[in-house]
Amino acid sequence: MTVRFGGKVAVDEASLVAEPGRITGLIGANGAGKTTLFNVVTGLLAPDAGEVVLDGRDLTRLPPYKRARLGLARTFQRLELLGTMTVRENIAVAAETRRGWARDGVRPARVVDAVLDRIGLRDIADVRADTLPTGIARLVELARALATKPEVLLLDEPASGQTEQETEKFGSMLQVLAGEGMTVVLVEHDVPLVMAICDVVHVLDFGRIIAVGTPEEIRHDANVIAAYLGSPEQRDGEPSGAARHSRCL
């Protein structure tokens, strides 16, 4: 995948494969191209080169709503909840939309109830979304994505604003979803979370994938250390790369 904004190359021939039943992590400093890559995958942005393929089908020219119907769902780096609606109503919007294409006879109300229980939002179902703390609002956004019953779930910094306890619970939730066969792709600055739950991690640096491997392999990869942890001399001074934005590897 290659994406250019004028003379700037935001994503530079970056390839990523995400498999069912696994959590695929994507890490990198601010501006590395992570959200741009997500926008290409979900159809919000057209690539200058490359293609998006789901189960052998080329999605590159399809609009976002058609990709959603084929099983893609995402959350956003910046919260995109419907603030004046309740938690239940936010989830219902997705469930009602799904009914328009799914035609499987499942009532939206049943989908909403199931998601509320699964994510643990039943007690705040009738609370307005714009009154929620950020960590809980992130769960609502996840619940809304799940109401479309996706095959592929793309999460853009979902742990942002969560407490340590909320993050731990959230990570466990994603592991359960992957264990049920869902494809989960996680963009996250909370590197310990990524290392704890991901099966494979991709590292972006200035738009290029510089490393792919298990969390243990990434933790000891020389390119990642050079790009994000810096040399011992740098660590005595100003940290480099993701060390300015993330918790330590």
Tokens of 162: 């969560």
Distance CA 2, CA 17 (A): 15
Answer yes or no: are the C-beta atoms of 185 and 153 closer than 8 Å.
yes
DSSP H stretches of helix in the chain: 34-41, 64-69, 87-102, 108-119, 134-146, 164-179, 191-197, 215-219, 222-224, 232-236
Interatomic CA distance for residues 204 and 94, integer angstroms = 31
pLDDT digits (tens, 9 = 90+) for 48-102: 999 999 999 999 999 999 999 999 999 988 888 888 999 999 999 999 999 888 8
* pLDDT for the residue 230: 53
Per residue of the chain (249 residues), give pLDDT as tens: 999 998 899 999 999 999 999 999 999 988 889 999 999 999 999 999 999 999 999 999 999 999 999 999 999 888 888 889 999 999 999 999 998 888 787 899 999 999 999 999 999 999 999 999 998 999 999 999 999 999 999 999 998 888 888 899 999 999 999 999 999 999 998 989 999 999 999 999 999 999 999 999 998 899 898 887 554 444 444 444 444 344 444
Contact (CB, 8 A) for 246 and 190 = yes
Q: How confident is the model at residue 232, as a pLDDT?
A: 45
Phi, psi of 180 (to 5 degrees): -90, 0
Q: What is the pTM of this model?
A: 0.86
Domain ranges of the chain: 1-71+151-249, 80-149
Q: Which CATH class is domain 1-71+151-249?
A: alpha beta
